[in-house]
Amino acid sequence: MNIQTMLKSMFIVSAVSLSMLAHVNAQEWTLTPETYVGFNVKSMGFSIVKGKFEQVQSSMSFDPAIPQNASAQFVMNVNSVSLSKPSLKNMIMGEDLFYVEKYPTATFKSHEFIALDNHHYSIKGDLTLRGVTQPVTLDTVLKPNTANPQLLDVESKAVVNRSDFGMKKAFGGIGEQVNIEVDGQWKKQ
């Protein structure tokens, strides 16, 4: 074995070891039940329709010292959405929009955490809705909770277009752009 091959092998072993060590040091988190995971959209150009997913499965592996190794995922039960305008539920859950009968869940899975500045991250991932997967970037603030070290405060936002996920123009003037929000806390497991 020549010196170049030996050094290359040592480098690979070191990189794999560091990667494994980083994963071991990462802390596991889940969203607290009180956390708002939802959306809002303009209706008829002026009023806002808000929806909150009442049933969300979540997990995050995160160590602020090595955010590039972090990951997060959400699975939302679409039928659990509570709306600020309940009279629109049948339309929003129907075939033209969520089509909950055929697509009962929506998912987000991250593939990259980018540290921007103090507690501010860009989380890139894939959102799957109505069987369509599109890239989405969550503009996110994750910071330690001042009252409880077992919590991380989170504010996360993104904007998507309904039509990118196969949602049709809806009666009632439901807007094209949808604001996605996560606002609350991650709890250390």
Mean pLDDT check: name the lowest of 19-33, 40-54, 159-173: 19-33
**What angle is formed at CA 104 by the lines to CA 137 and CA 89, rounded to 5 degrees?**
90
11 has pLDDT over 50: no
Average pLDDT over residues 134-148: 97
The pLDDT confidence band at residue 47, using thresholds 50, 70 and 90, is low
Q: What is the pLDDT of residues 88-119, one digit of tens each?
A: 899 889 998 999 999 999 999 999 999 999 89
DSSP annotation of 147:
S
Residues counted in the chain: 189
Average pLDDT over residues 162-183: 83
Task: Assign domain 26-188 to a CATH class.
Answer: mainly beta
Residue ranges per structural domain of the chain: 26-188
Q: What is the pLDDT of residues 75-90, one digit of tens each?
A: 999 999 999 989 889 9
Query: What's the whole-number average pLDDT of the chain?
Result: 87
pLDDT at 12: 47
Query: Exposed e or buried b for every residue in 82-112, given b needs 16+ CB within 10 A?
Result: eeeeeebbebbbeebbbbbeebebbebebee
Mean pLDDT check: name the lowest of 33-42, 102-111, 173-182: 173-182
Share of the chain above pLDDT 70, in %: 81
pTM: 0.82
